[in-house]
C-alpha cells in the first residue's frame, strides 16, 4: 500500500523510504527486517518529548503528578488510539500468518512507536519533536480537564513524598446504613495527625479525610 497519504497525515516526508517501510514491518515479516528496534527507539523518544513538553508547559505540576500524566499519555492504550486515528493499521506489513488487527492494542502501539523511531533516524530530533507534539496536541490541551485535576488524595501523596514522609493510611471506621443509601466514615492517618471524612462511598470519604489533613499540614 502506498504510504504517501500516511506521510501527509503525520506531516513528515521521508528522505529514505526504507526507514518508513521498516517501521511498518511486523516481526512476522522477518526475524531481522522488522520494526522492533525502531519501536525500542520510538518508545524512548515519545517518553522524552512528552516529558519535556509537560515540564515546560506545566511549571505548577510537581514530579509525581508529571510522571502520572506522562504515563497516561504514553501508555499503549493511548498510542493505539493514535494509530487508529492515523489509520496506521492499513499500512502494517505482515508475514504469511494472518493477524487480526481489530482490538490488537499491542501491535498498533508498537507500530506507532516504530514510526516515531523511523522519523528520528530519517530526519533527526527537530522533525521528530514536531510530529510527536502535533500528534499529542489535543491531549496535551486537555490535561487541565477533570481527568487530570489533582484530587485531595493525590495532593496529599505528593505533599508527603516531596517531604519524604510516610504515605497516609486510610481505614474505614464504620458504615452507616440508611434506608436509601450508605455513608462511609473513614479516617486518614499520617504520623501524629488523624482526620476523618464521611462520604457516599469509601473513595469519597477518603478524599474528604485527605482534604482535611491537607488543610492541617498546610497550616
pLDDT single digits (tens) 187-196: 999 999 999 9
* CA 207/CA 102 separation, integer angstroms: 38
CB 155 within 8 A of CB 148: no
* H or E element that contains 36: helix 36-57
Q: Is the pTM of this model over 0.75?
A: no
> Quick one: pLDDT at residue 58?
85
Name the phi and psi angles at 92, rounded to 5. Answer: -70, 135
Q: What is the pLDDT of residue 1?
A: 56
Residues 6 or more apart whose Cβ sits within 8 Å of residue 37:
117
| pLDDT given for residue 99 in this prediction | 65
Q: Which of 36, 43, 171, 181 is catalytic?
A: 43
Q: Which residues are annotated as a binding site for Mg(2+)?
A: 39, 110, 113
Please identify which of the residues 52, 113, 181, 219 carries the catalytic annotation: 113
Active site residue 72: no
- Phi, psi for 136 (deg, rounded to 5): -95, 5
Dump pLDDT digits (tens) for 50-109: 999 999 988 877 787 788 899 999 999 999 999 999 999 889 988 876 666 555 889 999
DSSP secondary-structure letter at 201? S
Query: What percent of the chain lies above the pLDDT cut of 70?
Result: 92
43 is catalytic: yes
Amino acid at each position: 500500500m502506498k504510504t504517501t497519504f500516511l506521510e501527509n497525515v503525520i506531516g513528515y516526508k521521508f528522505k529514505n523510504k526504507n526507514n518508513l517501510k521498516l517501521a511498518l514491518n511486523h516481526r512476522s515479516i522477518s526475524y531481522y527486517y522488522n520494526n522492533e528496534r525502531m519501536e525500542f527507539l520510538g518508545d524512548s523518544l515519545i517518553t522524552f518529548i512528552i516529558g519535556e513538553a509537560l515540564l515546560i508547559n506545566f511549571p505548577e505540576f510537581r514530579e509525581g503528578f508529571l510522571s502520572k500524566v506522562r504515563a497516561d499519555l504514553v501508555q499503549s492504550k493511548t498510542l493505539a488510539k493514535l494509530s487508529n486515528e492515523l489509520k496506521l493499521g492499513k499500512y502494517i506489513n505482515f508475514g504469511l500468518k494472518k493477524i487480526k488487527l481489530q482490538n490488537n492494542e499491542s501491535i498498533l502501539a508498537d507500530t506507532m512507536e516504530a514510526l516515531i523511531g523511523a522519523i528520528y533516524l530519517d530526519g533527526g530530533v527537530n522533525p521528530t519533536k514536531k510530529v510527536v507534539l502535533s500528534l499529542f496536541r489535543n491531549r496535551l490541551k486537555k490535561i487541565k480537564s477533570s481527568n487530570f485535576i489533582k484530587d485531595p488524595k493525590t495532593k496529599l501523596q505528593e505533599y508527603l513524598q516531596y517531604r519524604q514522609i510516610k504515605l497516609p493510611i486510610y481505614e474505614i471506621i464504620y458504615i452507616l446504613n440508611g434506608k436509601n443509601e450508605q455513608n462511609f466514615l473513614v479516617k486518614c492517618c499520617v504520623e501524629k495527625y488523624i482526620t476523618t471524612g464521611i462520604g457516599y462511598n469509601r473513595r469519597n470519604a477518603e478524599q474528604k479525610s485527605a482534604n482535611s489533613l491537607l488543610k492541617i499540614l498546610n497550616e
